[in-house]
Amino acid sequence: MDIISSNSTLSGHIQVPGSKSHTIRALLLAALAEGESHIRNPLPSADCRSTAAAIPLLGASVDFGNSGDNCWTVQGAGKNFHLPEDVVNVGNSGSLLYFLSPLAATLEGWSVFTGDESIRRRPVDHVVDALKQLGAEAHTARPGSSTCPLIIHGPVQKPYRLTTAGSVSSQYISGLMMAALRLDDSVELTLTDPKETPYLTMTQKWLEKVGAEVSISDDYKQISVKGNGIYDGFDAAVPSDWEAVAFPLIAALLTDSEITIDNVDFSGIQGDDAIVPILRSLGADIEEDKEKATLTVRGGKKSRNGNGRLSTKNNPNGQLHVNLSGLPDAICALAVAAAFSEGDTCIEDIAVCRRKETDRIEVLQKELGKLGVDIETGPDFMIVHGHSPLLEDGSANPAFRIHGGTVESYADHRVAMSLSCLGLALPEGETVRVKGAECCSVSFPRFYPVMEAIGAQFKEA
């Protein structure tokens, strides 16, 4: 499916789906539990459905309930948690791959993991090394390859201690932390270069919810997890997804719009909430109401200064420097916002973004470049040389050169949503055609209809 996006004014209330990161953790921990768990406000996305399809292979089951229930019920495997009965196909979910493979390594016998074309390009050599340090066998199926299919033979052996970088991804670290629930002694992890650390805190909170003892040093380089054996099922609500909040947020900021995003998670557990202060440093008009759990966003003529002009000028040396190691999934939305901001936005410590669904650094430079955005990149950085549509006096900025065109999503949901939102901010008569836009369902089911309900001009082509 292709989507054509054009100039829009947004208004009204919008609610984004539940968090993918929370939903997948909840499903796996419910699968390990003894008895019944209830997961409320789950995200029914493709990645979460892949997780729900995988856990019956391990002895658990999932009941999705009636369409209006918004609650999934999991019958946990508990002490009957067993080796996967078939090859585990994780679909497009790197989270499922990296979470479940260490859990499978706690079991006696062979497990095989694969996924879609994107997953079969993502590295697993860091997982192989970690599991080998723990005494399990782990191999990639293709000689000379560092990607899936991944073959594992467990169980892991004492002592449960290993040293790993942690820079490729935080997800396999979370998987190793979850695996501790099934072991008879503490798991001790040393990370030499930890990244995406807010997600490790998220895993810690979930493990503590089911009774595990978790210790993480202030610098995230030392992690200790002592499992509690078999635990009972639980009842938990999944908070709204900050990774999804980013897209209506930037869409409103870049257009003459005022919207309110409802049911926002202000717990601080999701690292992607840092997108708000980052955008505020560009002059964004964003108002938080933690009591009502809402975020009100005003852009363009609806902003409090009357023009909504974004600029880096109030930052040191007139440039915005952002370290995204803690929230790398924000790169797509931030790159688009930076393109419409006067000045240079330097997005740093993002090497992990080259190992997501796509090489997002390369893809953003290429696809935004097709639309007139000037981006400079390196191994672990991106500099967006942005221009506001307006000068400081409110007149048209002759340096603003962003225009319409046809772009590729590369089946990357965040690329598709960010490029679609860019089209909403184009001058009248210009459009962006996003190819393969249906991939949004990976993390934001019904993204286009939900955005259309607040005024986004999206047309299926």
Q: Which of 47, 265, 285, 329 is catalytic?
A: 329
DSSP SS3 for 115: coil
Identify whether 329 is a catalytic site residue.
yes
- On the CB side of 188, CA atoms within 13 Å amount to 5
Tokens 């493709």 — which residue? Answer: 46
Distance of alpha carbon 347 from alpha carbon 361, whole angstroms: 10
Task: Please check whether residue 449 is in contact with residue 440, taking contact to mean a CB–CB distance below 8 angstroms.
Answer: no
| DSSP codes joined into one string, 385-423 | EE--SB-TTSSB-TT-----EEEE-TT-HHHHHHHHHHH
Q: What is the token pair recorded at 276? A: 């708000």
Q: Which residues pair with 408 in a beta bridge?
A: 435
Q: Which helix (H) or strand (E) holds 90?
A: none
Contacts 24+ apart (CB under 8 A), 58-67: 58/31, 58/82, 58/83, 58/84, 59/31, 60/30, 60/31, 60/32, 62/27
Residue with tokens 């926002």: 264
Residue 241 one-letter amino acid: D
Alpha carbons 204 and 25: distance in angstroms, whole number: 11
| 341: nearest Cα among 416, 407, 425 | 425
The helix/strand/coil state of 180 is helix
The alpha carbons of the chain give a radius of gyration, in whole angstroms, of 22
18's CB contacts (< 8 A; 6+ apart) are 41, 42, 43, 238, 239, 240, 241
Report the sign of the C-alpha dihedral through residues 116, 29, 173, 229, in that order: negative
- Angle between helices 125-133 and 94-104 in degrees, nearest 10: 20
Phi and psi torsions of 418, nearest 5°: -70, -40
Question: Which residues are designated catalytic?
Answer: 329
